[in-house]
Amino acid sequence: MATVAFHTLGCKVNHYETEAIWQLFKADGYDRVDFEGSSDVYVINTCTVTNTGDKKSRQVIRRAIRKNPDAVICVTGCYAQTSPAEIMAIPGVDIVVGTQDRNKLLGYIEEFRKDRQPINGVGNIMKTRVYEELDVPAFTDRTRASLKIQEGCNNFCTFCIIPWARGLMRSRDPKEVIRQAQQLVEAGYKEIVLTGIHTGGYGEDMKDYNLAMLLRDLEEQVDGLKRIRISSIEASQITDEVIDVLRNSKKVVRHLHIPLQSGSNTVLKRMRRKYTMEFFGERLNRLKEALPGLAVTSDVIVGFPGETEEEFMETYSFIEKHQFSELHVFPYSKRTGTPAARMDDQVDEEIKNNRVHRLIALSDQLAKEYASKFEGEVLEVIPEERFNDGEQNDLYVGYTDNYLKVVFPATEEMVGEIVMVKIAKAGYPYNEGQFVKVVKEEIVFAV
């Protein structure tokens, strides 16, 4: 049996697509093996969001070539899309496919084996207007299933290369989304995470259909689905209709990831973001009113070109005021080919790092404050895996619907199921809980 090994760099969408590409190989009779061993075919799914992403991708490609010089080396993903010639120039690379036409990969492998000529299968992504269907009926991860619902982005923020790597907005056919969601529930998943390059923009390229309608249809039409999580949504995409759906839903969880990037209007303008802080704040207030206990996590870039101490403090104060439950903080990193990389007033690395540390300290404090509100409460948790603290124990780790990471006593049989957990103590980086049983709607505490 022929073997294939995968290595994925970058975001959740890339991880989803690697699983989809594996399904194609599996259907063709391939056996999946560990990337660190020898394989007949290596598939490297690359990232290009930063210059470091490109560099790491090149390192992994070279590692695969060293492992088995006779293997077929296939490179796909965002870096492959934006810089195919750069990748083809690496001796030992055989096939390059971008962020489209992944279903042609097996045909290219056959063609390469016959002709022994490198193949560049990268097309012009900006001309692509149709969503590429890639099915994933089950995941290597047993507990949370991702479901990709859209591709591409029309925003062209000044710091971002992604529209050039992924093309413009394309939404997946709602019937296909519903069909695959049902398939995932039947494979045993209780929670589905809707994901994409610009997830909240789902439906913007469709007539008479949008994200709010998709959320309603998933809730009503997918039997056995317990949780719907949106991987990320922009403030500008949180319409009154979306808020209304969230307010009335029994399945959409109390957690939203809303990228902030900066809390200063002047920086947002330089970033070419599509909202003001006043609008963002108003949306947050409306959401928290509709969904009491809502967890809002966010991404923040610090040290964007020209960012002053005053602008940074505007961001700091906004986050503090609106009580985000956790932040992903990034120092601004120049991405070749973007307008921001050519801007004057690049911020000194030391200043960037200082600001990163200040925001991380604030994030830790806010995470602790948010979690402590739930001390003594019984919440639904899906155990994901054994908690590894280097000691033998019966502790497992899982997430509540509002994205609290909880460590609690459980068993292997509970993994992937919804269990009731009483939050005993809120701490950071995780919270401690006690597994409880529900007997005839009464909560009975486990000993």
Tokens matching residue 241: 């209709």
Q: How far apart are CA 185 and CA 181, in angstroms?
A: 6
Exposure pattern of 282-307 as b/e (b: 16+ CB <10 Å)?
ebbeebeebbeebbbbbebbbbbbeb
pLDDT of 392 reads: 66
pTM attached to this predicted model = 0.93
State the Cα angle at 161 between 160 and 163, rounded to 5°: 100
304, 339 Cβ separation under 8 angstroms: no
pLDDT of 422 reads: 95
State the Cα angle at 190 between 183 and 410, rounded to 5°: 140
258, 233 Cβ separation under 8 angstroms: yes
441 burial (CB, 10 Å; 0-12 / 13-18 / 19+) is exposed
Q: Which of 144, 219, 149 is nearest to 188 (CA)?
A: 144
391 burial (CB, 10 Å; 0-12 / 13-18 / 19+) is exposed
279, 318 Cβ separation under 8 angstroms: no
| Share in percent of the chain as helix, strand, coil (round to 5) | 40, 25, 40
Number of Cβ within a 10 Å radius of residue 231? 20
Residue in the block written with tokens 């997830």: 199
Residues contacting residue 11 through CB under 8 Å, at least 6 positions apart: 47, 49
Instruction: Assess whether the previous peptide bond of 259 is cis (omega < 30° from 0).
Output: no
Q: How far apart are CA 163 and CA 151, in angstroms?
A: 10
92, 44 Cβ separation under 8 angstroms: no
Q: What is the CA radius of gyration of the chain?
A: 23
pLDDT of 446 reads: 65
Residue in the block written with tokens 């394309």: 170
pLDDT of 389 reads: 74
Tens digit of pLDDT at every position of the chain (447 positions): 899 999 999 989 999 999 999 999 999 999 999 999 999 999 999 999 998 999 999 999 999 999 999 999 999 999 999 999 999 999 999 999 999 999 999 999 999 999 999 999 999 999 999 999 988 988 877 778 999 999 999 999 999 999 999 999 999 999 999 999 999 999 999 999 999 999 999 999 999 999 999 999 999 999 999 999 999 999 999 999 999 999 999 999 999 999 999 999 999 999 999 999 999 999 999 999 999 999 999 999 999 999 999 999 999 999 999 999 999 999 999 999 999 999 999 999 999 999 999 999 999 999 999 999 999 999 999 999 998 876 767 899 999 999 999 999 999 999 999 999 999 999 877 899 999 988 877 878 764
